[in-house]
Amino acid sequence: MMIIEDFYEEQMERNLRLGDIVKGIAHTHPIINTPFLSIQENSNFKLEISNSEFLVILTPCCSIGPQFFSLAPLFEIHSTIFNNPYFYEDLTRINRLVAPKNAITKANYLSLTNEEKAKYDRASPTYSFKNFFIFKGNPFFKSYIRNKSNIYDYMIDFTRVFYVESKNLKGNGKIKKNFEKIKILQLSVDIRHQLRLKLSHYYGRVPDEDLPYVEL
């Protein structure tokens, strides 16, 4: 297995940064079927505790701590992504703007009318799978099977972000000594910027119903 040279830094900083891959942090998420609207009401919910092997820091570098930072767990890549040969060829293309016609399968593009094809061809580059970001394979990630191939890349989902509180966070990403071992990989400056841009796009989208009232 080869690591893409420009994806991760060879020499990591001690401080935590946006996009760092970390380990050793448990997380919870509630499953709520009935809203808990007052103390008197009965609520139907479950609280699941997970210990994902690896997680990604999603708090901007200068905002990490004191005490709090946000993370998202790494998952195996969804099988639907492999239906598009353009992404299958290089899964990290999902992290960057692509021509709209490449965001759909070739079969879907060929099934369009000439007018629809022309619209796709004129459209500006866009993100596909807007809530996903791909992390290249590395010596820490276990392989798994997709499309009868060994895959080493993993992904995060921006909809699954949570926060952690720890007295080991000093602020501006600085950490106490007993917290140093959680960090295993640091993104390169270029890839961290790609993550920052896609996060900004994901949270900065304006719904159509708001457009008449928002100055862009």
Q: Model's pTM, two decimal places?
A: 0.89
Please list the pLDDT of the chain residue by residue as tens digits (216 residues).
Answer: 344 568 999 999 999 999 999 999 888 887 877 777 766 566 667 777 877 899 999 999 889 888 889 999 999 999 999 999 999 999 999 999 999 999 988 888 889 899 988 998 899 999 999 999 999 999 999 999 998 899 999 999 999 999 988 888 888 888 888 788 899 999 999 999 999 999 999 999 888 888 888 876
CA-CA distance, 49 to 103, in Å (whole number)? Answer: 35
pLDDT value at residue 89: 93
Residue 3's pLDDT is 45
Q: 41 Cβ partners below 8 Å, 6+ apart?
A: none
How many Å apart are CA 207 and CA 216, to the nearest integer? 12
In angstroms, the CA 147 to CA 167 distance is 44
Bridge partners of 146, per DSSP, are: 149
Strand partners of residue 126? 98
* 3-state SS, residue 77: coil
Strands (E), 44-168: 45-50, 55-57, 68-73, 75-76, 132-135, 144-146, 149-151, 154-157, 162-165
pLDDT at 212: 84
With contact defined as beta carbons under 8 Å apart, do 162 and 70 qualify?
yes
Nearby residues of 34 by Cβ (< 8 Å), 6 or more positions away:
42, 43, 44, 45
Q: How far apart are CA 210 and CA 99, in angstroms?
A: 26
Q: Are the C-beta atoms of residues 4 and 153 closer than 8 Å to each other?
A: no
Distance (Å) of CA 76 to CA 83, 117, 142, 210: 15, 33, 10, 35
Cα–Cα distance, 109 to 117 (Å, whole number): 7
The alpha carbon torsion through 202, 92, 162, 176 (nearest 10 deg) reads -120
pLDDT confidence of residue 41: 61
> What was the pLDDT predicted at 105?
86
- State how far the alpha carbon of 45 is from the alpha carbons of 30, 33, 138, 191, in Å: 7, 6, 37, 38
**How confident is the model at residue 73, as a pLDDT?**
95
